[in-house]
Amino acid sequence: MAMDAQDIARMIREGVPGAVVEIEDLRGDGEHYAAYVRSAAFVGKSRVQQHQMVFAALKGKMGTELHALAVHTIPVTEQEG
């Protein structure tokens, strides 16, 4: 069963401090998404660490309920946020 875009965004917001999340359904099939995540929590972290934070927020749903997710992280300062 596929995950709803709103559920994906909610989980990321809960797991990544101060995250602003936009989810795009890439194929209109409810299975292939892109997540655009802006957060000050990403500042000073490598791209790999940023993506690990996003995937950790999904609590093991990736590869089971969530089939495909392209992650785009954007570190922002508090002033930009």
- pLDDT tens-digit map of 14-45: 999 899 999 999 998 888 999 999 999 999 99
Q: Confirm whether 39 is domain-assigned.
A: yes
Confidence check: pLDDT of 67 > 90? no
Q: Confirm whether 81 is domain-assigned.
A: no
Domain of 35 in residue numbering reads as: 5-75
Confidence check: pLDDT of 81 > 60? no
Q: Confirm whether 34 is domain-assigned.
A: yes
Give the number of domains in the chain: 1
Output DSSP code: residue 72.
E
Radius of gyration of the chain (CA): 12
Q: Confirm whether 80 is domain-assigned.
A: no
Q: Confirm whether 30 is domain-assigned.
A: yes
Nearest to 32 by CA among 69, 63, 7: 69
Written as six digits, the tokens of 58 are 């999904």
Length reported for the chain: 81
Confidence check: pLDDT of 79 > 60? no
CATH of the domain at 36: 3.30.300.90
The percentage of the chain sitting over the pLDDT mark of 70, rounded to a whole number, equals 94
- What pLDDT is stored for residue 19 in this prediction? 97
Mean pLDDT of the region 5-17: 96
